[in-house]
Amino acid sequence: MLRLEARRHDSTLMALVSPLIATALTLVAGSILFSLLGHSPGRALYTFFIAPLSDLYGWTELGVKVAPLMLCAAGLNMCYQAKVWNIGAEGQLVIGALAGGYVGLMFPDTQTHWMLVPVLGFGILGGMAWAGLAAWLKTRFNTNEILTTIMMNYIALYGLLYAVHGPLKDPNGYNFPESAQFSEFVTLPVLFPDYRINISILFGLFALAASWIVLNRTLPGFQMRVLGQDQSAAAFAGFNQNRIVWSVMLVSGGLAGLAGICEVAGSIGQLVPQISPGYGYTAIIVVFLGRMSPIGIFFASILLGITYLGGEMVQMNFNLPKSITGLFQGMLLFFLLASDILIHYRILPANRASRVHS
């Protein structure tokens, strides 16, 4: 049999090769899966990965899909670098959408695009406030932020439901739970006419770039990483732990809030009960899939975005249920994360003595 042995140093070769191994395994397993279902594996895999990007509309929709993922993941990555386990991006996104959307709905007669500034501003502030609550609970009462942020996700969702069923319901909407549609002055400018992609993708890319600079080139970023790697070392160095917790939570909350207001003021155009198909949770996968680096997060969000678009294409062209495309996405993620083990470990036959040198 085989056994695993820890490498003394992470293998740089494997860091490059493991994604290729994962891709190969996914293609093999996907081929088997689609053949068993009676479909041509080549066509199915083409539909999954290539067809979504075969026209400009596909590319722009990829941008629509990854913008909120990038915004949420950029913030979550900072939290996770400092080992602050913020699971609440989903709720922060919803509150951001609600706060910014509220401002947009309060001034329906505004005739200037400057209205977007307070709308986006309140979106960011809403997300920051929601994350700030969890930061306060953690720094003041030492509560576990995993629990508080998860619970606050539900509260945020019910807050949104209350708003669209109650005070923010469209008065001319036959009592359906939706707000009125935003005026064109509260709608994010699109990058190309006739396509939905808007400036939120620029926010997402900017957030990733900025988070890279902060983490790698600034003192606060260094402090975050030290706190994450060794809490007592951070204390010895005199870093203010509470201030770091507050910073990462506020930044990630603000970015998630921005993602939320960009969804409703962008491609959706009104407040609805379902703003996010779980972007805040998917962003957690994106962070770890991207190996907690902003560059990795960029590629991971694109990969996940493609699998979502590809899943829709496969459903449409092959009449396959959503569960099959979900299964395939799950396999892809599993192989990617599982192959990472080769970076830190080597595989040896069980009976062979381990080598002293790595």
Partner 1 sequence: MKISFSSLLCFILLSSAGAFAEPLKVGFVYLSPAQDAGWTYAHEKARLYVEKELGDKIQTTFIENVNEGSDAERVIHKLASSGYSLIFTTSFGFMNPTFKVAQRFKNIKFEHATGYKTASNMGVYNARPYQGRYLTGLIAGKMTRTNVVGYIATFPIPEVIRGINAFTKGLKETNPDAVVKVVWISSWYDPAKERVAAETLILQGADILSTHADSPTTVQTAEAKGVYAFGYHSDMSKYGKHAQLTAVVHNWGQLYLNEVKSVLNNTWKPENLWYGLKEGVTQLSAFNKAVPKEVQDLVNTRKEQIIKGEKRVFDGPVYNQAGELVVKKDNTISDSDLLTMNWYIQGIEGTLPGH
Q: Is 193 in the site for partner 1 (CB under 8 A)?
A: no
Residues 255-274 that bind partner 1 (CB under 8 A): 263, 266-270, 272-274
Span from 79-87, 158-166, 293-301, 340-348 in contact with partner 1 (CB under 8 A): 158-166
**345 forms bridges with which residues in the sheet?**
6
Q: E-strand spans in the chain?
A: 2-6, 345-349
Q: Which residues contact 200 (CB under 8 A, 6 or more apart)?
A: 67, 68, 71, 188, 258, 259, 262, 263, 266
* Residue 140 phi, psi dihedral angles, 5° rounding: -90, -45
The nearer residue to partner 1, 164 or 297, going by C-beta atoms, is: 164
Question: Footprint of partner 1 on residues 10-39 (CB under 8 A)?
Answer: none
CB of 300 to partner 1, least distance (A): 19
Minimum CB distance to partner 1 smaller for 10 or for 170: 170
- Note whether 145 binds partner 1 by CB under 8 A: no
The long-range contacts involving 323-329, CB below 8 angstroms and separated by at least 24 positions, are: 324/33, 324/37, 325/48, 327/33, 328/30, 328/33, 328/48, 329/304
Q: Rule CB under 8 A: is residue 43 a binding residue for partner 1? A: no
d(CA 45, CA 24): 12
Residue 72's Cα: distance from chain center in Å? 5
Report the alpha-carbon distance of residue 41 to residue 219 in Å, rounded.
50
State how beta strands 2-6 and 345-349 pair. Answer: antiparallel
* Contact status, residue 350 vs residue 2, Cβ threshold 8 Å: yes
Q: Which of residues 42, 108, 189, 277 is near partner 1 by CB under 8 A?
A: 277
Q: Which of residues 162-181 bind partner 1 (CB under 8 A)?
A: 162, 165-166, 174-178, 181
Question: Distance between CA atoms of 204 and 255, rounded to whole angstroms?
Answer: 9
Smallest gap from residue 183 Cβ to partner 1 (A): 15
Identify the residue among 22, 44, 64, 258 touching partner 1 (CB under 8 A).
64
We find the least distance from the C-beta atom of residue 165 to partner 1, in angstroms, to be 6
Among 114, 158, 192, 206, binds partner 1 (CB under 8 A): 158
* 123 touches partner 1 (CB under 8 A): no
Report how many residues bind partner 1 under the rule CB under 8 A. Answer: 39
Alpha carbons 78 and 89: distance in angstroms, whole number: 12
* Residue 239, SS3 per DSSP: coil
The Cα–Cα gap between 94 and 71 comes to 13
Q: Of residues 7, 43, 83, 196, which one binds partner 1 by CB under 8 A?
A: 196
Q: Which amino acid is at 306?
A: I
DSSP three-state, residue 41: helix
Cβ-count burial of 337 within 10 angstroms (0-12 exposed, 13-18 middle, 19+ buried)? middle
The yes or no reply on residue 101 touching partner 1 (CB under 8 A) is no
Does 108 engage in binding with partner 1 (CB under 8 A)? no
**Binding track over 285-324 against partner 1, x by CB under 8 A:** -----------------------xx--xx-xxx-x-xxx-
Q: Binding partner 1 by CB under 8 A: which of 46, 57, 59, 107? A: 57
The minimum distance between CB 40 and partner 1, in angstroms, equals: 17
Residues 322-351 that bind partner 1 (CB under 8 A): 322-323
The one-letter code for the residue type at 76 is: L
- Residues lying near partner 1 in the complex (CB under 8 A) are found at 57, 61, 64, 158, 161-162, 165-166, 174-178, 181, 194, 196, 263, 266-270, 272-277, 308-309, 312-313, 315-317, 319, 321-323
